[in-house]
A and B are shown apart, each in its own frame.
Chain A
């Protein structure tokens, strides 16, 4: 029997390095395949197009309806991305590969959450100018950008956790929206109200209760997801 030399003694991979590795892997793979982003983008554009043709809105009605249309678009497109992002891990057994690594399992949760958030923000960055042109509405308001960021963080935080649960089942495609939408109702209500407020010219102080709700929800769902992720992926 040949003796093995332990030249590559393992150093513990830190949480931040592991998270960075997962984010790098997701972005590199997506840059090649463009599978997830293209599906999300086409879907998002179709939704705003359909709304555009279905609702013939005057200027006043547009200001009222914009927030709802935008968040419905983000929520549906986001679900597609969350589902696909975890399905890629499960289909080739890669989730096992991640779980076999000697890193804290929260690194997997945070890594996947950051990747999902990046994909969602990319889609939102493309949808906003397209929406502005189609609906002749100016969406470039710093307050609205903040709401979109906070809303997306909460949506992805809870969505990543639920998609890792749903992906273990045979009905994962239909299960995720059923699990996700009831849980994200507080985010969607707060995000729509805050977005609508900014678009109707309300001040930051007027919209502050909804911003606070978004921040509190983000913190709570991230903390809860961090605590339970280990149990969710455990067999």
Chain B
């Protein structure tokens, strides 16, 4: 579902990604771990077609980037620590707007379905700026799955959320990932991703330096695996 080969990204003289190879199978939930500045967000922005690779090959949902960016965007939902929502529109208006951009059929029915899924049906006519950070993040997930994408990218979705909001978000993430979608999520919260992901990849100095499935991790602690990966 996602393949990158020898992916390089440079910003001027600074090289952020140095030949990154990654393969994610359909239905996998991959947690991308790594220290600040490792290139996680840059990598996700390339997968999301928001940034062009300097060198290398990128295939998302069977389409090559950047050439087939439009086809990729049809099959992709993105949630970042920013909600990508308009505060002066209601929850329903935000989804209707994105629905129009994505050309969604039966938009009214789909919006109701999504709002019920994220638990915001009762707040559909409220302005987004009146929502708590947790509610905005739930609506952001609703926006990301509105067009029913096959691939979801989450860039540190827990940032700025309190414990309860994080728990609620995790339940929602499990639900949307459990619908057969391929998910790549970056996070610094190892305890949370340990519960959610089926595979853990560690990104350091622009390459994937370690990878383990949940099964292979066995009884080993994710924190130990992560520390070991960074030390090697």
Contact = CB atoms under 8 A, between A and B. Distances in A.
A234 interface: yes
Contacts of A33: 88
A32 interface: yes
A94 B84 contact: yes
A99 B50 contact: yes
A11 B110 CA distance: 14
Contacts of A97: 84-85, 98, 143
B50 A96 contact: yes
Contacts of A12: 103
Interface stretch (B159-167, B175-183, B189-197, B209-217): B175-183
A13 B103 contact: yes
Contacts of A170: none
Contact of B86 (A14, A25, A104, A235): A25
Interface string B58-78: 000000000000110110101
Contacts of B52: 234-235
B109 to A, nearest CB: 9
Nearest to B146: A8
- Output the residue of A12, A17, A101, A104 with the most chain B CB within 10 A: A101
Contacts of A10: 74, 102-104, 147-148
Interface string B131-175: 000000000000100011000000000000000000000000000
Contact of B49 (A9, A32, A94, A100): A100
A8 B100 contact: no
A98 to B, nearest CB: 7
A24 interface: yes
Contacts of B147: 8, 10
Interface in A81-95: 88, 92-94
Interface string A1-44: 11110111111111001101110110011101100000000000
A209 interface: no
B180 A11 contact: no
A28 B83 CA distance: 19
A119 to B, nearest CB: 14
Interface in B185-222: none
Contact of A93 (B73, B82, B88, B98): B82
A127 interface: no
Nearest to B51: A235
B49 A11 contact: no
B48 interface: yes
A213 to B, nearest CB: 36
Contact of A103 (B97, B101, B105): B101
A3 B180 contact: yes
A4 B102 contact: no
B224 interface: no
A4 B85 contact: no
A2 B178 contact: yes
B126 to A, nearest CB: 12
Contacts of B97: 21, 24-25
Interface of B: 27, 45, 48-52, 70-71, 73-74, 76, 78, 80, 82-89, 93, 97-98, 100-106, 110, 127, 143, 147-148, 178-181
Interface of A: 1-4, 6-14, 17-18, 20-22, 24-25, 28-30, 32-33, 88, 92-94, 96-104, 234-235
27 contacts: A1-B27, A2-B178, A2-B180, A3-B179, A4-B181, A8-B110, A8-B147, A8-B148, A9-B148, A10-B147, A11-B103, A11-B104, A12-B103, A13-B102, A21-B101, A24-B100, A25-B89, A92-B86, A92-B87, A93-B82, A96-B80, A96-B82, A100-B73, A102-B70, A102-B101, A102-B102, A235-B45
